[in-house]
């Protein structure tokens, strides 16, 4: 795919995919979107001091980066597994400006390590954050049943890759969650809500990040 680095409205980077005419993050603010959707409405909902996160769509590493920093600030312990079918290059990583956009002395080292870590190996990034990157397509990845407390679902948009928002994929997500687990995503289209509900999720509409009216949080219903 042909990709180029762009700057979003909050000054943080994203990647534009020419074939899809789609970006990795919101053009209204990459960091603002990640903080709102995944940190505020996902990470901050976790009451436990130790928990597991699955990210579907590692992409630029932004969600993992912000989560690693927040994990250390809050003295939590997180195991973070991230699935990605098409990793970005080290040349692209070098141009992304996320470490310069946050006020944290560990930011540069943290972001660098996230991307230099080997794939398929779980390694410690900071005191509370362990990362394993999994190179696989969403359709093919094998996930442990009942393992994850929280899922960040960050696939390309429904109009561009509707197959990633199917009942088949959401059934896999449902099965991978712990009994009280939740899934958060920036998306809020009708067919996505229907697919989630059809596999058993209780779906909640929430206020979205800048530039987007709503987002979704899905709760695993106890059997």
**pLDDT per residue as tens digits for the range 29-86:** 999 999 999 999 999 999 999 999 999 999 999 999 999 999 999 999 999 999 999 9
pLDDT at 61: 98
**pLDDT per residue as tens digits for the range 166-197:** 999 999 999 999 999 999 999 999 999 999 99
**C-alpha dist (Å) from residue 104 to 26, 56, 108, 127, 129:** 23, 26, 8, 15, 16
Residue 221 has pLDDT above 90, yes or no: no
> Which SS3 state, helix, strand or coil, does residue 148 take?
strand
In this structure, which topology does domain 31-220 adopt according to CATH? Rossmann fold (3.40.50)
**C-alpha dist (Å) from residue 158 to 86, 113, 184:** 18, 31, 15
Output the pTM of the full model: 0.97
Contact 87, 135 (CB under 8 A): yes
Please choose, from the candidates 183, 185, 173, the residue with its C-alpha nearest in 3D space to the C-alpha of residue 143: 173
**pLDDT per residue as tens digits for the range 198-211:** 999 999 999 999 99
The mean predicted confidence, pLDDT, of the chain is 97
Residue 223 has pLDDT above 70, yes or no: no
Please choose, from the candidates 27, 83, 89, the residue with its C-alpha nearest in 3D space to the C-alpha of residue 53: 83
DSSP 8-71: -TTS-EEEEETTTTEESS-TT-HHHHHIIIIIITTGGG--SSEEEEEEE--TTSHHHHHHHHHH
Q: Enumerate the β-bridge partners of residue 17.
A: 3, 22
pLDDT at 16: 98
Distance, in Å, from the CA atom of 48 to the CA atom of 33, rounded to the nearest integer, reads 24
């Amino acid at each position: 795919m042909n990709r180029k680095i762009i700057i979003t409205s909050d000054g943080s980077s994203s990647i534009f995919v020419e074939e899809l005419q789609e970006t990795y993050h919101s053009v209204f603010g990459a960091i603002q979107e990640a903080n709102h959707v995944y940190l505020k409405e996902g990470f901050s909902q976790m009451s436990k001091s130790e928990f597991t996160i699955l990210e579907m769509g590692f992409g630029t590493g932004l969600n993992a980066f912000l989560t690693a920093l927040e994990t250390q600030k809050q003295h939590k312990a997180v195991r973070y597994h991230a699935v990605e079918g098409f990793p970005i290059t080290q040349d692209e990583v070098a141009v992304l400006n996320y470490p310069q956009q946050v006020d944290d002395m560990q930011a540069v080292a943290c972001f660098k390590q996230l991307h230099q870590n080997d794939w398929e190996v779980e390694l410690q990034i900071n005191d509370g954050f362990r990362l394993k990157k999994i190179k696989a397509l969403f359709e093919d990845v094998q996930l442990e049943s009942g393992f994850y407390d929280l899922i960040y679902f960050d696939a390309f948009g429904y109009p561009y890759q509707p197959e990633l928002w199917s009942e088949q994929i959401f059934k896999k997500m449902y099965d991978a969650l712990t009994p009280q687990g939740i899934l958060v995503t920036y998306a809020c289209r009708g067919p996505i809500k229907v697919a989630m509900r059809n596999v058993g999720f209780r779906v909640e509409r929430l206020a979205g990040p800048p530039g987007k009216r709503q987002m979704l949080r899905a709760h695993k219903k106890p059997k």
